[in-house]
Amino acid sequence: MPISIDSFDEYDAPEQSGTNAEKIVRFLAENQDKAFKATEIAAATGVNENSVPPVLTRLRSRNLVRHKEPYWAIGDPAHVREAFALQSTTAVLDERLGDEDRAQWLEAGAESTDQ
């Protein structure tokens, strides 16, 4: 439904939060019946055009997207859901318990091998 130009001028579009990878996966999942070129993904998500190809390559290595030159599409929906559920769970735990400290993990691992 269209809005008046006055409403348009006053409208503040909600900013998409999340990492570039999350924005790209979200976009591809919302458009799972289509495949896109990297430049189209950049335009649709607001992710810098130079950042999209490396992000897509990382997502492909995790089986979250599929690629047939020059097009990209969402990967297996069940796999994508599992990955986002894990990410969401990790974010909640980080919020409740604090971020992980790699140095503490390494120190704890070293102590356990000393015993």
Q: Does any domain span residue 2? A: no
**Cα–Cα distance between 59 and 66 in angstroms, integer?**
9
Rama region for 34: left / alpha / beta (φ>0; ψ in -120 to 50; rest): beta
Q: Does any domain span residue 77? A: yes
- Of the two residues 113 and 69, the one the predictor is more confident about is 69
Q: Does any domain span residue 29? A: yes
Q: How many domains does the chain have?
A: 1
What's 29's domain CATH number? 1.10.10.10
Task: Please write the tens of the pLDDT for every residue from 36-67.
Answer: 999 999 999 999 999 999 999 999 999 999 99
**Cα–Cα distance between 115 and 69 in angstroms, integer?**
53
Task: Please write the tens of the pLDDT for every residue from 67-107.
Answer: 999 999 999 888 788 876 766 666 666 677 777 777 877 78
Q: Does any domain span residue 7? A: no
Q: Does any domain span residue 41? A: yes
Q: Give this prediction's pTM.
A: 0.64
- Buried/exposed code over 6-25 (b: 16+ C-beta within 10 A; e: otherwise): eeeeeeeeeeeeeebbebbb
How many percent of the chain have pLDDT more than 70? Answer: 79
Task: Please write the tens of the pLDDT for every residue from 1-32.
Answer: 777 888 777 766 555 568 899 999 999 999 99
pLDDT at position 89: 67
Residue 110 domain boundaries = 15-114
pLDDT band per the 50, 70, 90 thresholds, residue 115: low
Q: Does any domain span residue 55? A: yes
Structure tokens at 89: 């769970």
Q: Does any domain span residue 57? A: yes
DSSP element (H, E) containing 102: helix 102-114
Q: Does any domain span residue 103? A: yes
